[in-house]
Amino acid sequence: MNVANNPIWQFSLHWIQALIWVVALVGVFWMGLTMRWSKLTAVLVFLTLDLVMFGSYVRLTDSGLGCPDWPGCYAKFTPLQADTQIAQAVQEQGGTQGYVSPFKAWVEMIHRYAGSIIGTLILVLVARVLWARRRGEDVKLGLPLVLLGWVILQGLFGKWTVTLRLIPLVVTLHLMGGVILLVLLAWFWMRNRADLVSVRAGVSTRALLWAALVAVGVQIFLGGWTSTNYAALACSGFPTCNGTFTPHADWAAGFTLWRHLGENADGSPITTAALVAIQWGHRLFAIVATAAVLAAVAALWRHAALRRLAGWIALAVLLQVAFGVVLVTAGHPLLVAVAHNGGSAVLMLLLVGALYRVSAVAREQAPSESLGSAFVKLHPLPKN
């Protein structure tokens, strides 16, 4: 097997360029070591939310192949160093409307830089947990290791997105991986807070929250599938699709998961009917997801301590519906599309926060045993 030409194993950076990248990440690692623990966990959640939103911007601006190799840009550390190769690619494709342009190269590489920073900070998180355990602190290592493994897997999906040339399932799973990483980090962040008051909300409330969380997760997958198949404009009009509630849709072709971009499984061009199925399926399931979230909101509203959170969840889901309607009726404006993607991630965060508040984990988490308190001892607050 020729590893250099195999898209699964492709690595494009020269060792000098790779060393520059490593040195930069060592600086990030050191910065993470000096942060207070509470700040590190909060920064990771914030950066990952930003990365999920920026990832949607990469996709929506068709910048995923702005640098068509990995992890560098034409084997260089920055697009600035690859300006000659980028200019040649632009000339060969007949202008900047293709996959490659200086702008798209920078968008793609900024996404990779940000992902590398998040991965490095998660490595810091694991290192600090190991250090605390070595000092005799009673802290759990399981979730930090899961986070490290997941971010490595997420990096591989980012690589395969490029080297396998935007296979829709790979790109969609990369999106889902980012959302799952965000949820895991948010849960970890909450586990290390002593100020979150738990609420005994009952089995039915927890069940409704789980149903809402799963429904929103499926809807995010369908939204990603719509975007990665370029099916966002397959249905015009609202609430109908191309003037009817029963559009001609090829469901089997639309939801054949493993295939190349713009093709059916047999290599033939994908049809408009398949794209309609993808878009219409996303719209129809939005009804299910919205109903599930509103049912969870109603359950949360019965508890005074959770009413504010319930209100935020209701607002988030209504904004998502509004963004979806604007996307269809206004021709898919870029900023609204990015907000729609980011809004889905925020909705997931709010639901996870609510689920944590009503879970047994929150009640069992004693401040004296929290991971945060372990690092307060390692990095004490300055005395006044």
Among candidate residues 92, 108, 137, 263, the one labeled active-site is: 108
Q: Which helix (H) or strand (E) holds 180?
A: helix 168-191
Nearest to 52 by CA among 351, 340, 350: 340
| 8-state DSSP, 202 | -
Nearest to 223 by CA among 270, 317, 286: 286
Residues shown for the chain = 384
Angle at alpha carbon of residue 215, lines to 210 and 216, rounded to 5°: 100
For the record, the structure tokens of 366 come out as 């004693």
108 labelled catalytic:
yes
23 three-state secondary structure: helix
Q: Give the phi and the psi of residue 241 in degrees, each rounded to 5.
A: -115, 110
DSSP 203-239: HHHHHHHHHHHHHHHHHHHHHHHHHHTT-TTSS-SSS
Asked whether the beta carbons of 53 and 341 are under 8 A apart, the reply is: yes
Q: What is the distance between the alpha carbons of residues 86 and 107, in angstroms, rounded to a whole number? A: 13
Residues annotated as catalytic are 108
